[in-house]
Amino acid sequence: MKTAGVVLLLLWFGQVLIAAENPEVQNTNTGKDAAQQSDIHTVLRETSILITEQGAELKCTKTQLETVQKKAEDMEKKTDVMESRLRASEKTVEEMESLVNQLKTENKVQSAYLNATVTAVSDLKRERAQSKVSFFALLLGEGGREHSGIGTLVFQVPITNIGNAYNRQDGKFRAPIRGVYSFAVYIYGHGRKNNPVGVSL
């Protein structure tokens, strides 16, 4: 439709030019030309309206195209940003996985160390329990009377004998392990000139 309007417009301009250059043609064809010119004016008006409408549609289409292009550019920018964030997230995930693996390794080492420590503590507790040595015993004569004698005194009334290091049969204490031992002896007796009281350990 646009092309037909342009052709008619050119034809009309051609006739106008011919008529302007040749006055005879103007006189002979006055009735015909008037009708044709009227038809041409109508076609020109319709063509002008059509061209105006198409120009408006073209502007609208251009505006829509620019809007679509702008949206496409925005989407590309957003896509680039999302890809950048995705790469950063992937890198963070890799770093976190590496950190988790490192923590797992450290946890295994710490667990092994803890198990070794627990075993060592258990061993120390057992050794300590075995190394506890203590006894407390009394030496009394029959019926609570005095006791006199020379040689090894056998304390036959053991009250405490932790570690079973004291033998109440022979009255000897045999140290089962190395260490520092403390002994205390309490003695009560009546001293006389001819019969002194004494004790040695």
Tell me which residue has tokens 């051609």: 14
pLDDT at residue 166 in the model: 86
pLDDT at residue 1 in the model: 47
pLDDT at residue 187 in the model: 73
Check pLDDT > 80 for residue 52: yes
pLDDT at residue 59 in the model: 92
pLDDT at residue 101 in the model: 95
Name the residue among 142, 146, 154, 155 with its Cα closest to residue 197.
146
pLDDT at residue 127 in the model: 75
- Spatial distance between the Cα atoms of 167 and 148, rounded to a whole number of angstroms: 20
In single-letter form, the type of residue at position 90 comes to: E
For 31-78, the three-class secondary structure string (H helix, E strand, C coil) is HHHHHHHHHHHHHHHHHHHHHHHHHHHHHHHHHHHHHHHHHHHHHHHH
| DSSP three-state, residue 167 | strand
| DSSP three-state, residue 161 | strand
For 118-132, the three-class secondary structure string (H helix, E strand, C coil) is HHHHHHHHHHHHHHC
pLDDT tens profile 122-170: 988 877 766 678 888 777 654 444 555 566 777 777 678 888 888 878 8
Q: For residue 48, what pLDDT band results from cuts at 50, 70 and 90?
A: confident
pLDDT tens profile 2-24: 455 545 555 555 555 455 455 55
Check pLDDT > 60 for residue 25: no
Segment 23-38 shows an average pLDDT of 60
Give the orientation angle of helix 30-131 with respect to helix 2-21, to 10 degrees. 150
Whether residue 153 contacts residue 138, with contact meaning beta carbons closer than 8 Å, is answered with no
pLDDT tens profile 83-126: 999 999 999 999 999 999 999 999 999 999 999 999 999 988 87
What is the average pLDDT value for the chain, to the nearest integer?
77
Phi, psi of 188, rounded to the nearest 5 degrees: -135, 130
Count helices and strands (H / E) in the chain: 3, 4
**Model-level pTM?**
0.35
Structure tokens at 95: 């770093």
In single-letter form, the type of residue at position 101 comes to: N
